């Protein structure tokens, strides 16, 4: 295993320390609880967004803490859910008197632990918590980490869009409705050329042949739909666009999000995006907004995922709203 780490045991806390060192005025971090907070909390009376999950998907979630997105993010061990106490602490600290939205990816541990934390925060501090569970991955029903569909790329878009709704001062029920709508209107599909390596395991999570790729892979390297021979970008794009379009509800404009899995260079992501854009054009789907880059990764896995989100007036407006986080910034 070749990694820029000190020890597999300290990966998460070392990275959190580096993150706050790199963004000292933007973020603060509770290293004991492994929670990233905004450097300056938002105003009282606005809904707070709390998310989190296993580490290894950076910039998700800690990198999305800041103006227009999250208020706090809980980091679990690599590919392991944060614990209820940790999530409760984040929820309590982030609350600004208007309730808290939990953004949870659909993995069994995450769902259970966020649910428990929500109940505890409500019972102990009277904080109103609403939750949205993302399950946008069309690749498989159920998998090694999940009952139902996995939560993947839509989580990034949801944190941005619901974050903007909260920043605007919408009440909890409305922020939760916007978040639920993003999940309902978004679909994703991923693929891998190589496996990532979990530091504590020291070897790749799975083996792919030198001329093989896996279609429908999860962000923890969970099995996808099938393996097949390596193909040109134009063919890979079809494997992603077709199943996503098949399940995408509604009609009208979309946001197209081509996400890198951590080990693929930007040059290749742009090549993939070009192929995706051509296919969407051929299918008569108008791309109104787009995002290309590494936003929800799987350590050093080479590969990419496509998320399409059917836009409406609200979602577009909140997508276009200001955002200023280490992982996602809008231009001035």
Site for a second copy in 147-186 (CB under 8 A): none
> Which range of residues in 111-119, 138-146, 162-170, 286-294 is near a second copy by CB under 8 A?
286-294
Measured CA to CA, the distance from residue 326 to residue 213 in angstroms comes to 31
Q: Return the number of the residue (5 or 283) whose C-beta is nearest a second copy.
A: 5
292 near a second copy, judged by CB under 8 A: yes
Measured CA to CA, the distance from residue 18 to residue 100 in angstroms comes to 27
17 near a second copy, judged by CB under 8 A: yes
Burial class of residue 68, CB neighbours in 10 A (0-12, 13-18, 19+): buried
74 near a second copy, judged by CB under 8 A: no
Residue of 300, 308, 310, 318 interacting with a second copy (CB under 8 A): 300
102 is catalytic: no
4 near a second copy, judged by CB under 8 A: yes
Number of chain residues interacting with a second copy (CB under 8 A): 67
19 near a second copy, judged by CB under 8 A: yes
Q: Return the number of the residue (174 or 268) whose C-beta is nearest a second copy.
A: 268
Q: Return the number of the residue (282 or 332) whose C-beta is nearest a second copy.
A: 332
Q: Return the number of the residue (74 or 176) whose C-beta is nearest a second copy.
A: 74
Secondary structure in 3-state letters for the chain: CCCCCCCHHHHHHHHHHHHHHHCCCCEEEECCCCEEEECCCCCCCCCEEEEEEEECCCCCCHHHECECCECEEEEEEECCCCCHHHHHHHHHHHCCCCCEEEEEECCHHHHHHHHHHHHHHHHHHCCCEEEEEECCECCCCCECCECCCCCCCHHHHHHHHHHHHHHCCCCHHHHHHHHHHHHHCEEEEEEECCCCECCCCCCECCCCCCCEEEECCCCCCCCCCEEEECCCHHHHHHHHHHHHHHHCCCCCCEEEEEEECECCCHHHHHHHHHHHHHHHHHCCCCEEEEEEECCCCCCCECEEEEEEEECCHHHHHHHHCCCECCCCECCC
201 near a second copy, judged by CB under 8 A: no
Q: In the complex, what is the shortest distance from the CB of residue 176 to a second copy, in angstroms, rounded to a whole number?
A: 26
Q: In the complex, what is the shortest distance from the CB of residue 324 to a second copy, in angstroms, rounded to a whole number?
A: 3
Q: Return the number of the residue (186 or 199) whose C-beta is nearest a second copy.
A: 199
Instruction: Give the residue among 143, 228, 219, 135 at the shortest CA–CA distance from 183.
Output: 135
Residue of 36, 47, 53, 55 interacting with a second copy (CB under 8 A): 55
56 near a second copy, judged by CB under 8 A: yes
Phi/psi at 262 (nearest 5 deg)?
A: 120, -35
57 is catalytic: yes
Q: Return the number of the residue (89 or 193) whose C-beta is nearest a second copy.
A: 193
Q: For residue 250, list its beta bridge partners.
A: none
Site string for a second copy, 240-279 (x = CB under 8 A): ------------------x---xxxxxxxxxxxxxx-x--
Residue of 32, 126, 210, 282 interacting with a second copy (CB under 8 A): 210
Q: Return the number of the residue (129 or 213) whose C-beta is nearest a second copy.
A: 213
From 23, 102, 220, 226, active-site residue: 220
From 23, 57, 61, 102, active-site residue: 57
Q: Are 139 and 82 in contact (CB under 8 A)?
A: no
Residues in contact with a second copy by CB under 8 A are 2-7, 11, 14-19, 21-23, 26, 55-56, 58-59, 63, 66-67, 193-194, 196, 210-211, 213, 230, 232-234, 236, 258, 262-275, 277, 290-292, 294, 297, 299-300, 302-304, 322, 324, 329-332
Mind telling me the catalytic residues?
A: 57, 220
């Amino acid at each position: 295993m070749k990694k820029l780490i000190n020890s597999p045991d300290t990966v998460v806390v070392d990275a959190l320390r580096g993150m706050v060192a790199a963004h000292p005025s933007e973020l603060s971090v509770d290293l004991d609880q492994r929670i990233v907070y905004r450097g300056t909390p938002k105003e009282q009376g606005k809904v707070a967004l709390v998310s989190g999950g296993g580490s290894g998907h950076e910039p998700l979630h800690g990198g999305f803490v800041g103006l227009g997105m999250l208020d706090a993010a809980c980091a679990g061990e690599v590919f392991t859910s944060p614990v209820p106490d940790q999530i409760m602490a984040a929820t309590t600290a982030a609350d600004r008197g208007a309730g808290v939205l939990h953004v949870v990816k659909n993995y069994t541990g995450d769902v259970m632990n966020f649910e428990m934390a929500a109940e505890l925060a409500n019972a102990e501090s009277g904080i109103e918590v609403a939750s949205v569970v993302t399950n946008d991955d069309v690749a498989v029903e159920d998998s090694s980490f999940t009952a139902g569909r996995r939560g993947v790329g839509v989580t990034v878009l949801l944190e941005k869009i619901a974050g903007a709704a909260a920043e605007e001062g919408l009440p909890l029920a409305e922020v939760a409705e916007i978040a639920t709508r993003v999940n309902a209107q978004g679909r994703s599909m991923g693929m891998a050329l190589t496996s990532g390596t979990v530091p504590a395991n020291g070897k790749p999570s799975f083996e792919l042949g030198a001329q093989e790729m896996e279609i429908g892979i999860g962000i923890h390297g969970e099995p996808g739909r099938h393996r097949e021979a390596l193909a040109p970008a134009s063919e890979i794009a079809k494997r992603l666009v077709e199943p996503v379009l098949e399940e995408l509800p509604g009609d009208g404009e979309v946001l197209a999000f081509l996400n890198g899995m951590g080990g693929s260079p930007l040059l290749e992501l742009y090549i993939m995006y070009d192929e995706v854009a051509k296919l969407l054009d051929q299918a008569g789907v108008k791309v109104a907004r787009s995002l290309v880059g590494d936003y929800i990764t799987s350590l050093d896995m080479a590969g990419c995922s496509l998320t399409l989100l059917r836009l409406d007036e609200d979602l577009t407006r909140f997508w276009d709203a200001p955002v200023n986080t280490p992982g996602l910034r809008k231009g001035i």
